[in-house]
Amino acid sequence: MKTIITYGTFDLFHVGHIRILKRLKEMGDRLIVGISSDSFNNIKGKKSFFSYEERAEIVLSCKYVDDVFPENNWEQKESDIIKYSANIFAIGDDWKGKFDHLKKICEVIYLPRTENISTTDIKKQLSNISESELKKIESYLSQVNEIIIAISR
């Protein structure tokens, strides 16, 4: 069985996330996803819209993902690869070269990201929205989250 492992924050889950998870799943039999915990995001200076628990539930509901676990620090990747018997570590090419040291224990692949979409861009666009429009969007996102949870059951 070929196991693929990847990591990410996966906040404001979007089509770019779906496409990269699909490409990763096509590489093997099992896809395991490390999701940045809220405390790790704080260390990185990031703030997620959804909590770790919500993001984990959303990602796990994706048909391409077999399991998720919390990413709590930069250093855990090597032990995670061993723990999950991962054959391939894959991540977006914006990290190219940063994880080459893992090549001693598995194959390392940097995948091109989906063009013209990113969580950062979405957050920038949302920051230009009025308070009333933002409340509507928050309500819609909450409803989408509930639908995803309902569908995954």
Is residue 47 annotated as a catalytic residue, yes or no?
no
Cα torsion 95, 104, 24, 109 to 10°: value is: 40
Question: Per the residue annotation, which of 2, 22, 25, 46 is the catalytic one?
Answer: 46
Query: Mapping DSSP to helix (H, G, I), strand (E, B) and coil, where does residue 86 land?
Result: coil
Is residue 44 annotated as a catalytic residue, yes or no?
yes
Beta-bridge partner residues of 69: 34
Burial (CB count <10 Å: 0-12, 13-18, 19+), residue 93: exposed
Question: Per the residue annotation, which of 2, 22, 25, 44 is the catalytic one?
Answer: 44
Active site members? 44, 46
